[in-house]
Structure 1
Amino acid sequence: MRLIVFAMAIVASLQGCGRRAPEPAVLEQIEAQDAARIAALAAQVVTYPDFGDDDPVEWDRRAPQTYPVHGIDVSRWQTDIDWQQAQRAGVSFAFLKATEGGDVADPMFATHRRGAETAGVPWGAYHYYYFCRSAEEQARWFIRNVPRGASLPHVLDMEWTPKSKTCRLRPHGRDVRREARKFLDLLEAHYGRRPVIYTTVDFFADTGIGTLHDTEFWLRSVAAHPQKTYPGAYWVFWQYSGTGRVPGIEGPVDLNVFRGAPEGWIRWQER
């Protein structure tokens, strides 16, 4: 993809200068080289991992095991992770909890980030949103705690918080969407890539969050395929278990799939 974009930039530059653009055969060669590069990177992805689950589900539609690219999301509850072992077992990506609200930082974030980077596991960070603070305040808190350099876009985790001791507000859907846009815009301006939104079935239905334009979604659905629980929704990541078992991780962990083949996974990261 990067080679193709570079080639297109050269073409535009030459045309703007009145010079002859590369012949189609040259562009085809560049495209072929890019395809070969993508194929080589995709071949390094460990596909269709055989992770365990403490609470397995008999899927009534397409099972998560039919998707080749799997990953995890972790927080302070996952303490000592052998990232090298997890990567060899098939962890192709990881979303790491970084912050919540406007004043809470996950104490394991830096450790998880260093571990993922050392093992070559692509990572992004996620922020758990509370509706008792403004989007601007929460975005500033995230930016303060998460350095640039992630290999994946970051994530805005939006869901209802009925068990919170400090914030149980349930704003109207239009207010939720407005605040989400503010948060996404601020992070995109700082990190250069628009975050993904993670959410749950009830929040998705209650707020109309899925109507946000230019936004990709990571959807939780641990008992049925998202096609059933989020009718008509397009998703990029699917969290299919909260009780998974992965080599190198002590205790249960959330399991996810990427919606696409290994080649699509590489291209999606490079956009």
Structure 2
Amino acid sequence: MAGGVIKAAAVLAGLAMLGVGGWSVATSWHPSATRYPLQGVDLGPNPGAVEWGTVRARGADFAYLTATIGATRRDPGFEANWAALPEAGLRRGALHVYSLCERASDQANAFNTFVPRTKDSLPAAVDIHFADDCPARPDRAVVVNELARFIAMVETHTRKPMLLRISKPVEAAYHLSAAIDRPVWAVANLFAPAYAARPWRLWRATDFRRVDGIDGAVNWDVVAR
């Protein structure tokens, strides 16, 4: 009996070690730098303190920062992080989280007022996903027209074409990548996505990578060659 208990405990310990090892591998994984030479991070709202020099040393070439959410919310850490990126040797881009519950013009004005136009910045990006705090599901024509208005206003400010980061559920519901001719930023953990109407330009390949210099899980992205 005792021998059986000891054996079972040893098996459980072995499985636990495999679990720890597997999680360590998963959190350090990123797509091959040989296949995708340009890689970087994107940060959600309120990311906390970031050691950008360390992030650069761990292989990031660029960083996208959440700047605005809807028509009224600004990320409090955006300005400090935006200013710190060039000194750390990273290219920088700003992202707006789009709301289906608010007017596109109000959202564009919020972004344009908050995000400076700089020659060195990457194209701005707009994130479209179904949010828990916004139950609205407008007709496709309304969504396409409003999003096109937002994009036109922001591009007038930045003077660069925007990236569309479209979640898979939103794409399935509205087929935005077919309606709006802009580069696609697709989202799928581990396996390259193919849900958009055109090939992706940017791919968020994992949202659970761990990188020195940032607390917690990191969104890691690669650029198509």
| Shorter-chain TM-score above 0.5 | yes
Distance 1:174 1:78 in 2: 35
- Aligned sequence identity (%): 29
Could you tell me which amino acid in structure 1 is paired with residue 163 of structure 2? V
Q: Deviations over 1:22-52 (max 9, x none)?
A: xxxxxxxxxxxxxxxxxxxxxxxxxxxxxx9
SS in 2 for 1:219: strand
- Contact kept? 1:75, 1:108, Cα under 8 Å: no
Match of 1:136 among 100, 105, 109: 105
Distance 1:233 1:54 in 2: 34
TM-score norm. by structure 1 comes to 0.69
Say which structure is richer in strand: 2
Residue-pair matches, total: 200
**What corresponds to 2:221 in structure 1?**
256
**What corresponds to 1:240 in structure 2?**
205
**What corresponds to 2:171 in structure 1?**
204
TM-score norm. by structure 2 comes to 0.82
Unaligned runs of at least 5 residues, structure 2: 1-21
- Contact kept? 2:178, 2:198, Cα under 8 Å: no
Distance 1:131 1:222 in 2: 25
Q: Quote the offset at 1:121 in angstroms.
A: 0.7
Aligned positions of 1:221-236 closer than 5 A: 221-227=188-194, 230=195, 233-236=198-201
Aligned positions of 1:77-226 closer than 5 A: 77-149=46-118, 150-161=120-131, 163-164=132-133, 167-226=134-193
Q: Quote the offset at 1:108 in angstroms.
A: 0.8
Could you tell me which amino acid in structure 2 is paired with residue 134 of structure 1? R
Aligned-residue CA RMSD in angstroms? Answer: 2.2
Distance 2:102 2:136 in 1: 10
